[in-house]
Amino acid sequence: MNVYDFTVKAQDGSEVSLEHYRGKVLLIVNNATGCGFTPQYDDLQDLYEAHQADGLEILDFPCNQFAYLAPGTDDEIHTLCTGRFGITFPQFSKIDVLGENAIPLFKWLSENTTFEGFDGAMKLVLGGVVKKMDKDYKNNGNIKWNFTKFLIDREGNIVARFEPTADMKKVKAKVEELL
């Protein structure tokens, strides 16, 4: 099984087969517009502009499961992201990434990766918040917070997982390595 086996919903509700992205390097992200990590959109857009022509696609999935930081409709979220951050990469319909309503793509991503740990100044704060939701959070692949990123190679395989606290320079370097 690989990423091309999945279908997701576009903002307009239509089904999009990830087969459409075959041969591309993908960075799949769950986002929230009201999150402290939302400024990462600037870095993601810079990365997209620098490498879309090289075969990079960033697939953005709004999710309201972590502290309800992605309120609003798909259109409202998209308007905020394009207006405030100027994103031009594909943004899909709002989803769940955890629990019984998690979409199959994110179930697969979670089941086939491990939690990488939190880095930097937010390590203690975010660790404490996440531990309240999942006492065993360090020992499972569940997505812990907004802006978790999954890097997929041109063959549709998961290559890396980046927690929201990962330095975007590290993300960029790994993307460039695949390109």
Catalytic positions, written as ranges: 35
53: exposed, middle or buried (Cβ count in 10 Å: 0-12, 13-18, 19+): exposed
Distance of CA 12 to the CA centre of its chain: 19
At 79, list the tokens: 């308007």
Three-state DSSP class for residue 58: strand
Q: Which amino acid is at 125?
A: V
At 76, list the tokens: 């409202």
Do the beta carbons of residue 41 and residue 81 sit within 8 Å?
Answer: yes
At 4, list the tokens: 């091309």
